[in-house]
């Protein structure tokens, strides 16, 4: 259980010090994984740092009634001039695992799978290797809440799959508070969501609600989406009958066609990669959805065929 009450945070810089977070009130129930969404600079990482206890709020309080990890992510956590092994030892000692160093090292090594690089200085690591090590390190300890700040964004496919699986295995024992721009991984791992906007945080019991609110606010702004908002899939309930499944399949196909057309358009107009990415993501999601809808439809068809026989 993490309780945030009337939390205010700002950073002092050369051009004034506006509030990054204003009057945040949240309570994270135990066992519920939460995704934080919002634009760049909305304060997602700041909130995560505050929850981790790395930073202190100007006003308000955070109560951590449980064991919370450090923010697992790209920045920080490792001393560049020391080897991976030495860094792991350091963290183990800080957490009081003086007699269990070897056990922790073995666990990290087997998860990170970075081979001989484990005994090389961190400076020589690629960002993917750092992420692997950082991830493996945090999983070597039993935290109640893991904080992840884009921890999986740089990993390759196998690492992402492994990380996702590791978290799914922990369901019931531990939960996750994660910042990510990868919406599929948020939907995969999180149940609830928090949308940060203008220093305010809004809680959604369903992570898709948070993502939708985020889209509703950002869609159509010229900077991100010069061709208009990408195709967003409609939320559909689980179909109850063959007719409903057919209807949904048709709907998903229309969405897929629209997404395809938009992506083709984006390619034609040679948009910047970061702008094109939005349409590409939308297309990928539409494809996945159409496939799922088709599978459901087929299942119903099979059922009804069997019934007819």
Partner 1 sequence: MFQIFSRGPHGTERSPWQVTRSVWYAMFMREAISRTMTDRMGWFWMIAEPMIFTLIMVGIRGFIRGDRLIVGAEFIPWMIVGLMGFFVVREGMTRGLGAIEANQALFAYRQVQPVDSVLVRNFLEVMLRTLIFLLFIVGAMMLGMDLTPDKALYAMWDWFALWCLGLGLGLVVSVAGSLVPEVGKIVRMINMPLLILSGVIFPLNNLPHWLLEYVMYNPILHGLELLRASFFEGYKVVHGTSALYYWWWALGTMALGLLMHMRFRDRLKAK
Single out the residue of 34, 47, 62, 104 in contact with partner 1 (rule: CB under 8 A): 104
Q: Among candidates 221, 163, 193, 199, which has minimal Cα distance to 41?
A: 199
- To which H or E segment does residue 27 belong? strand 19-28
Contact 186, 193 (CB under 8 A): yes
Q: What's the rounded Cα separation, in Å, for the pair 250 and 217?
A: 28
Single out the residue of 76, 115, 220, 228 in contact with partner 1 (rule: CB under 8 A): 76
Single out the residue of 1, 41, 56, 110 in contact with partner 1 (rule: CB under 8 A): 56
Q: Cα dihedral sign for 228, 180, 185, 178?
A: negative
Strands 145-149, 68-73: parallel, antiparallel or unpaired by DSSP?
parallel
Cβ nearer to partner 1, comparing 1 with 261? 1
Based on the shown chain and the rule CB under 8 A, indicate whether residue 16 belongs to the binding site for partner 1: no
Question: Of 26-34, 52-60, 254-262, 265-273, which part binds partner 1 (CB under 8 A)?
Answer: 52-60
Cβ nearer to partner 1, comparing 34 with 140? 140
Based on the shown chain and the rule CB under 8 A, indicate whether residue 3 belongs to the binding site for partner 1: no
Residues forming beta bridges with residue 147, ordered by sequence position = 71, 177
Single out the residue of 10, 24, 42, 78 in contact with partner 1 (rule: CB under 8 A): 78
Strands 59-64, 34-37: parallel, antiparallel or unpaired by DSSP?
unpaired
Based on the shown chain and the rule CB under 8 A, indicate whether residue 250 belongs to the binding site for partner 1: no
Q: What's the rounded Cα separation, in Å, for the pair 62 and 53?
A: 9
Question: Of 78-86, 189-197, 202-210, 290-298, which part binds partner 1 (CB under 8 A)?
Answer: 78-86
Based on the shown chain and the rule CB under 8 A, indicate whether residue 98 belongs to the binding site for partner 1: yes
Tell me which residues touch partner 1 (CB under 8 A): 11, 52-56, 64-68, 70-71, 75-82, 86, 89-91, 93-98, 100, 103-104, 140-143
């Amino acid at each position: 259980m993490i309780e945030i009450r009337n939390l205010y945070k700002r950073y002092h810089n050369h051009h004034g010090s506006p509030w990054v977070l204003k009057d945040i009130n949240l309570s994270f129930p135990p066992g519920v994984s939460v995704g934080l969404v919002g634009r760049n600079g909305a304060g997602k990482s700041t909130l995560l740092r505050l929850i981790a206890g790395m930073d202190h709020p100007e006003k308000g309080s955070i109560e951590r009634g449980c064991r919370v990890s450090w923010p697992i992510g790209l920045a920080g956590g490792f001393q560049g001039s020391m080897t991976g092994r030495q860094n792991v030892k350091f963290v183990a000692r800080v957490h009081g695992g003086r007699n269990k160093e070897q056990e922790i090292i073995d666990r990290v090594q087997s998860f990170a799978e970075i081979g001989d690089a484990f005994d090389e200085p961190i400076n020589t690591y690629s960002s993917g290797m750092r992420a692997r090590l950082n991830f493996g390190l945090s999983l070597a300890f039993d935290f109640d809440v893991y904080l992840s700040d884009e921890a999986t964004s740089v990993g390759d496919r196998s690492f992402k799959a492994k990380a996702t699986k590791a978290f799914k295995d922990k369901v019931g024992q531990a939960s996750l508070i994660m910042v990510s721009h990868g919406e599929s991984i948020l939907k995969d791992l999180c149940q609830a969501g928090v949308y940060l906007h203008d220093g305010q945080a809004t809680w959604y019991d369903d992570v898709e609600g948070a993502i939708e609110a985020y889209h509703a606010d950002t869609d159509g702004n010229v900077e991100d989406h010069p061709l208009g908002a990408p195709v967003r899939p409609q939320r559909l309930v689980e179909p109850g009958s063959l007719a409903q499944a057919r209807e949904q399949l048709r709907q998903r196909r229309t969405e897929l066609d629209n997404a395809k057309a938009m992506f083709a358009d984006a390619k034609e107009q040679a948009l910047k990669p970061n702008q094109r990415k939005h349409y590409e993501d939308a297309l990928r999601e539409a494809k996945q959805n159409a496939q799922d809808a088709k599978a459901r439809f087929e299942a119903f068809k099979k059922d009804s065929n069997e019934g007819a026989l």
